[in-house]
Amino acid sequence: MVTIQNLHKKFGQNKVLSGLNLDIKEGGIFAVLGPNGSGKTTLIKAILGMVIPDKGTIHLFEKNIKNQSAYRNNIDYLPQIANFPSNLKVKELIKMIKDLRGRAANDNQLIKQFKLEPYLDKKLGNLSGGTKQKVNIVLTFMFNSPLIILDEPTSGLDPISLLRLKDLIQTEKANGKTILITSHIMSFVEEVSDEIVFLLEGQIYFKGTINELKTKTNQPNFEHAIASILTENHA
């Protein structure tokens, strides 16, 4: 599904990715973790074609994505911050995205699932952060794409909406989707992930299950395992 070889990226003198290698198989939920500045966002943006690497290759669906754009039609992406045009109504934004993608969409079911019916005629600029995030989720999941990338998907969600999001992620996994998630909420990561990919200083420090990480770090739980990696590398 995703094969990345020897990926390098610098911004000025700041080396963000340093020969990163990663192979993610088709199907399942993978959490991309790491401290601020570890290269998570740059990695995600490189997969999306929003950042051009200085060196290395990215293959998606067994094809090199360099100088390509059509592959993005097979990716659904939830950005960390939902920057929507404030003067558009929710229903207008949903229609606009459907028109841009030109594909069948499952928006009605998602609108009901996240209880967005009362907000369809409201302007996006008047919505709370949590309601905007629910709109963000509808826009992401309404297309049936094989790869889903979620950047901090729990941001601003109330407990009931969070449960609905978890159910939605598990449903998509059951449908054979590959889901990449970045999150700072370790309890959420532990609950939904099949594997984690931990980045440190632009390279993969660890890839495997949470139980394997606990064994590697000799720690009793996930949060302590993550803390132990960070402590060890900042000692």
Query: Does an H or E element contain 222, and which?
Result: helix 222-233
pTM of the predicted model as reported, rounded to 2 decimal places: 0.94
Domain borders along the chain are: 2-233
Which of 2.170.150.70, 2.40.50.500, 3.40.50.300, 3.40.50.2000 is the CATH number of 2-233?
A: 3.40.50.300
Each residue's pLDDT tens digit, 74-87: 999 999 887 899 99
Residues of the chain with pLDDT below 70 are: 234-235
Residue 139 tokens, joined: 């826009």
| pLDDT score at 18 | 93
Beta strands in 96-212 (DSSP E): 147-151, 178-182, 195-200, 203-208
State residue 31's pLDDT score: 96
50 three-state secondary structure: coil
